[in-house]
């Protein structure tokens, strides 16, 4: 039986298309997180409006397939990529972290929705960011995820355009967004009060409970 194989160029194309799809969603998602600067109520209000679009069964299926394609194709490309430039190394390492984050984060959200029957809103991520000692893991975990997104895009932009200043702006914007999101979700490190059901979920799955 003839074995079906996918060429490297086809994998790169799939990775690019899935990446563009996810970038559109992630941009909106990060904007939603920045609304937390105005408090949890503003964050949740915008999320409820956005969910009418991205939680449509067709859209949500496309996004989940894009996540799967991005992770699998990214891992496949990792083993065929030579690192000659710093931008290529940044692209590879940021992509590795993004793959880790996407797997863990999407799995956690699905578990929260389907197993714990939680509304995975501001307080779902807020539980990890505001409760000690798990916030010692979740603060850098979320901070690095936003940085990795911007660095991945910035390195790709540089490799295509060789424009260091614009790539630097993308990276700086990502770092700024990451800091603002952490500040917003921790109430300027004064900590938000987390409802019981979210505390119970994070304590159960972190081994604290």
Q: What is the pLDDT of residue 81?
A: 63
Backbone angles phi, psi at 56, to 5 degrees: -60, 135
- Is 122 within 8 Å of 196 (Cβ atoms)? no
Give the Cα-Cα-Cα angle 181, 71, 52 (nearest 5 degrees). Answer: 55
CB 102 within 8 A of CB 67: yes
- Give the pLDDT means over successive 10-residue stretches in the chain (209 positions): 60 90 95 97 97 96 95 82 80 93 95 94 96 96 97 93 94 97 98 96 74
pLDDT at residue 102 in the model = 94
Q: How many CB atoms lie within 10 A of CB 69?
A: 18
Max CA distance (Å), the chain: 63
What pLDDT, on a 0 to 100 scale, did the predictor assign at position 10? Answer: 86
Length of the chain: 209
Q: Write down the pTM of the prediction.
A: 0.91
Which tokens sit at 137? 């893991």
pLDDT of residue 204: 83
> Which of 78, 141, 130 minimizes the C-alpha distance to 105?
141
pLDDT of residue 2: 45
């Amino acid at each position: 039986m003839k074995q079906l194989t996918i060429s490297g160029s086809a994998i790169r194309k799939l990775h690019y298309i899935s990446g563009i799809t996810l970038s559109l969603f992630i941009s909106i998602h990060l904007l939603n997180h920045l609304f937390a600067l105005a408090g949890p109520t503003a964050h949740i209000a915008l999320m409820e409006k956005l969910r009418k679009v991205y939680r449509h069964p067709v859209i949500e299926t496309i996004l989940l397939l894009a996540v799967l394609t991005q992770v699998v194709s990214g891992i496949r490309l990792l083993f065929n990529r030579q690192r000659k430039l710093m931008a290529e190394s940044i692209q590879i390492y940021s992509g590795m972290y993004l793959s880790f984050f996407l797997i863990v984060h999407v799995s956690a959200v699905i578990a929260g929705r389907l197993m714990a029957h939680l509304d995975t809103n501001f307080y779902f991520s807020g539980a990890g960011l505001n409760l000690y000692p798990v916030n010692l893991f979740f603060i850098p975990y979320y901070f690095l995820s936003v940085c990795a997104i911007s660095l991945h895009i910035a390195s790709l932009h540089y490799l295509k355009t060789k424009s260091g200043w614009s790539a630097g702006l993308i990276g700086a914007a990502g770092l700024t967004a990451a800091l603002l999101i952490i500040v917003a979700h921790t109430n300027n490190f004064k900590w938000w009060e987390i409802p019981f059901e979210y505390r119970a979920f994070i304590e159960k799955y972190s081994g604290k409970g």
